[in-house]
């Protein structure tokens, strides 16, 4: 014995999602803020430097260097990622490999970040792991700060 659901109540409703026309899509794109990867990176550098200064003032010079290295462990791979993804991103012939390129550069970013963390005890004398972690976390959270404040290259429209 099969039970069939009555779909008559849903048949009369219009679909909730309406595709945009090309003109509506263009108008929507013009109203949305454009985020610049390079401005986000610049914000990360500034926030990382501030974190390093605060760590140095609170816990000493070694903690400041550790926090700065933590910030660098985020900024350097992110800059490499941004450069790799931005290269050839606007050309139509490269659209088919865009997702593969995105994942490849994300993998490179992850490996470089891990390598920098593994090298930290050798490169940073008297390493303070807590300060390094604080520098990393604060620098990573800059993405959200820039996104929430909308300060990254907002294009003004009427």
- Which tens digit of pLDDT belongs to each residue from 28-54? 877 776 777 888 898 899 999 999 999
More confident residue, 57 or 12: 57
> If you count them, how many residues does the chain have?
158
Only one residue has tokens 């849903």, namely 10
Determine the pLDDT at residue 102.
Answer: 85
Band (121; pLDDT cuts 50, 70, 90): very high
Contact yes or no for 55/67 (Cβ under 8 A): yes
Contact yes or no for 85/53 (Cβ under 8 A): no
Band (158; pLDDT cuts 50, 70, 90): very low
Determine the pLDDT at residue 157.
Answer: 45
Least confident of 8-12, 62-66, 112-116, 121-125: 8-12
Q: Closest by alpha carbon to 129, among 75, 79, 55, 77?
A: 55
Determine the pLDDT at residue 57.
Answer: 95
Q: What is the mean pLDDT of residues 109-116?
A: 95
Query: What DSSP designation does 156 have?
Result: P
Percentage of the chain modeled with pLDDT above 90: 45
CA angle 46, 118, 44 (to 5 degrees): 10
Cα–Cα distance for residue pair 53/36, rounded to 1 Å: 26
User: Is it the case that residue 138 has pLDDT exceeding 90?
Assistant: yes
Question: Tell me: the pLDDT tens digits for 72-112?
Answer: 999 999 999 988 888 766 665 566 677 888 888 999 999 99
User: Is it the case that residue 129 has pLDDT exceeding 60?
Assistant: yes
């Amino acid at each position: 014995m099969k039970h069939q659901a009555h779909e008559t109540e849903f048949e009369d409703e219009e679909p909730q999602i309406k595709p945009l026309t090309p003109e509506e899509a263009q108008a929507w794109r013009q109203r949305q803020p454009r985020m610049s990867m390079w401005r986000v990176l610049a914000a990360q550098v500034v926030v990382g430097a501030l974190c390093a200064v605060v760590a140095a003032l609170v816990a000493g010079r070694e903690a400041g260097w550790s926090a700065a290295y933590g910030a660098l462990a985020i900024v350097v791979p992110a800059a490499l990622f941004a450069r790799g993804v931005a290269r050839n991103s606007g050309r139509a012939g490269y659209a088919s490999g865009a997702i593969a390129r995105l994942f490849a550069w994300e993998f490179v970013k992850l490996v470089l970040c891990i390598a920098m963390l593994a090298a930290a005890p050798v490169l940073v004398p008297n390493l303070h792991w807590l300060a390094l972690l604080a520098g990393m976390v604060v620098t990573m959270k800059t993405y959200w700060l820039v996104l929430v404040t909308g300060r990254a290259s907002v294009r003004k429209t009427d």
